Amino acid sequence: MSGRHDASAKMAKLKELLHRSENRICADCSAPDPKWAQVLSVTLDQWSDNEIDNMIEVGGNSHANAIYEAFLPQNHSKPHPDSTQEEREKFIRYFLALLICSTFKCKVGMVEFIGILNVKVKGGTNLAIRDMSSSDPYVVLTLGQQKAQTSVIKASLNPVWNEELKLSVPQQYGPLKLQVFDHDMLSKDDLMGEAEIDLQPMINAAAAFGDPELLGDRQIGRWLKSGDNALVRDSAVLVAGGEVRQELALKLLFTESGEVELEMQWIPLNM
Tell me which residues touch Ca ion (CB under 5 A).
131, 136, 182, 184
CB of 130 to Ca ion, least distance (A): 6
For residue 44, give every residue at least 6 positions away whose Cβ sits within 8 Å of its Cβ, in sequence order, or none.
Answer: 11, 14, 15, 52
Nearer to Ca ion, 6 or 184 (CB): 184
What is the number of alpha carbons within 13 Å of residue 55 lying toward its C-beta?
25
* C-beta of 14 vs 192, nearer to Ca ion: 192
| Count of beta carbons in the 10 Å neighbourhood of residue 92 | 18
Question: Whole-number minimum distance, CB 154 to Ca ion, in Å?
Answer: 8
Residue 183 Cβ vs Ca ion, minimum distance, rounded to whole Å: 5
Residue 27 φ then ψ, to 5°: -70, -25
Question: For residues 223 and 84, is the Cβ–Cβ distance under 8 A?
Answer: no
**CB-nearer residue toward Ca ion: 33 or 189:** 189
Residue 136 Cβ vs Ca ion, minimum distance, rounded to whole Å:
4
Shortest spacing between CB 103 and Ca ion, in angstroms: 27
Q: Which residue is nearest to Ca ion (CB)?
A: 136
**Closer by beta carbon to Ca ion, 28 or else 136:** 136
In the complex, least distance from residue 255 CB atom to Ca ion, rounded to whole angstroms: 15
Q: Where are the beta strands (DSSP E) in the chain?
A: 113-125, 137-143, 146-149, 160-170, 176-182, 190-197, 218-223, 235-240, 243-251, 259-268
> Which residue's CB is nearer to Ca ion, number 1 or number 70?
1
Of 51 and 136, CB closest to Ca ion: 136
Classified as helix, coil or strand, 180 is: strand
Q: Are 164 and 118 in contact (CB under 8 A)?
A: yes
